[in-house]
Amino acid sequence: MKDVISLGVLGGILTSMIRLATPFLYAAIGETFAQTSGVVNLGVDGIMLLSAYGAFYVALNTGNLWLALLTAAAIGLLMGLLMSFISVTLKAEQGISGIGLYMFGLGMSSLLFKITIGTVKTIDGFQPVRIPLLGDIPGIGPILFDHSLPVYGAFLLVPIAWWVLDKTTLGLKIKSVGQNPAAADSLGINVDRIRYFSVCLGAVLAGLAGASLSTALVDLFQDNLTAGQGFIAVALVYFGGWNPWGVMGGAFLFSIVNSIQLWMQVIGVKIPSDVAVMLPYLLTIAALMITVNRVRQPAALNKPFERGES
């Protein structure tokens, strides 16, 4: 027990945090786009599952991991189109259509898995790529700069998403559509088109979240592989207050508490394992309680837009 807080331990916790945070980052940043435009997509987990399956299937049969990512993105896009058609064009209640999408993704992925693959198999997924120079920094180098490409991608996504949402006209349009669709419409912004775009972008990223699991982090597919991570990702969007950096903070907090609780179990800290597993969930709520999050949600969140209605 003497090495409980050694540098190696800390490194292990951080490495584990980065890996655990990766799918959350993709999915939650994607959901940030959808929600900023005013659409709550509760079907993230279903998109992740079907894409994780698709990516795994392609990787298993072709060995081409890039094609696998592309497949995942394409499946995400298709499911995003389905979600936006139902929620934007048909103006369905978003909570219900998202749950439908989740059930469909869960069922379809395990059905296809059973028919086309049959049993659990593993692949050689994305291998860690050590970034030259940075990766050689003693201590933090191997922790931060020795990961697979989809992991780096997740972290690059954060500043890009922030830049798009905060610094571009596209981002402005997405926000205005989520805040006041009627005003945006009167300014000549095509509300539906922006919402389609945002939901589909979110779904593509959810697809990549699934692929990052099945081709980079666990290198296999199984029934209900995500085990509800898509729902956590939705929660993290609220945690982050629709800001990519905040979302990243939430993903880090959740993941680091998770890797710390695993570490506590390994070194035999005397608390029941179930309580340890609860910690990330408890602390995420607690963190939000003390930071007093007064960010207003997009005013038109969860509201379909009908022209001339308001």
**Which residues in the 228-247 window bind another protein by CB under 8 A?**
228-229, 231-232, 234-236, 238-239
Q: How far is CA 241 from CA 3, 163, 193, 257, 264, in A?
A: 38, 16, 24, 20, 30
Q: Would you count residue 116 as binding another protein (CB under 8 A)? A: no
State the Cα–Cα distance between residues 206 and 67, nearest whole angstrom: 17
Which is nearer to another protein, 170 or 275 (by Cβ)?
275
Residue placing its CB nearer to another protein in the complex, 170 or 271 = 271
**Shortest Å distance, C-beta 70 to another protein:** 22
Are 179 and 299 spatial neighbours (Cβ–Cβ below 8 Å)?
yes
Closest approach, Cβ 168 to another protein, in A, equals: 27
Q: Which of 26, 56, 113, 162 binds another protein (CB under 8 A)?
A: 113
Q: Does 141 bind another protein (CB under 8 A)?
A: no
Query: Which SS3 state, helix, strand or coil, does residue 13 take?
Result: helix
The CB-of-163 to another protein minimum distance in angstroms stands at 25
Question: Of these, 42, 47, 165, 257, which contacts another protein (CB under 8 A)?
Answer: 42
CA distance 31 to 24: 10
Binding mask 143-182 vs another protein (x if CB under 8 A, - otherwise)? ----------------------------------------
How many amino acids of this chain bind another protein (CB under 8 A)?
Answer: 91
- Listed in sequence order, the residues at least 6 apart from 251 whose beta carbon sits closer than 8 Å to its beta carbon are 21, 24, 25, 28, 236
Q: Is 81 in the site for another protein (CB under 8 A)?
A: no
Instruction: Give me the least distance between CB of 169 and another protein, in Å please.
Output: 27
- Asked if 129 touches another protein (CB under 8 A), the answer is no
Tokens of 103: 């059930």
Residues 6+ away with beta carbon under 8 Å from 227: none
Kindly state the greatest CA–CA separation across the chain. 69
Contacting residue, 27, 213, 247, 251, with another protein by CB under 8 A = 213
212 in helix, strand or coil? helix
Which one, of 124, 148, 125, lies nearest residue 135 by Cα?
148
Stretch that binds another protein, among 25-33, 56-64, 151-159, 279-287 (CB under 8 A): 279-287
Site string for another protein, 6-35 (x = CB under 8 A): --xx--x--xx--xx--x------------
Which residue lies nearer to another protein by CB, 133 or 294?
Answer: 294
Helical segments of the chain, H only: 7-36, 44-62, 65-84, 94-112, 140-144, 149-167, 169-179, 181-186, 191-212, 229-239, 244-266, 273-291
* The only residue of 102, 145, 197, 252 in contact with another protein, by rule CB under 8 A: 102
User: Please, which residue, 161 or 236, has the CB nearer to another protein?
Assistant: 236
CA 47 to chain centre: 10
Within 280-309, the residues that bind another protein by CB under 8 A are 281-282, 284-285, 288-289, 292-294, 297, 302-304, 309
Nearer to another protein, 167 or 256 (CB): 256
Kind of pairing between the strands at 129-130 and 146-147:
antiparallel
Task: Tell me if 41 contacts another protein by CB under 8 A.
Answer: no
Cβ atoms < 10 Å from Cβ of 278 = 14
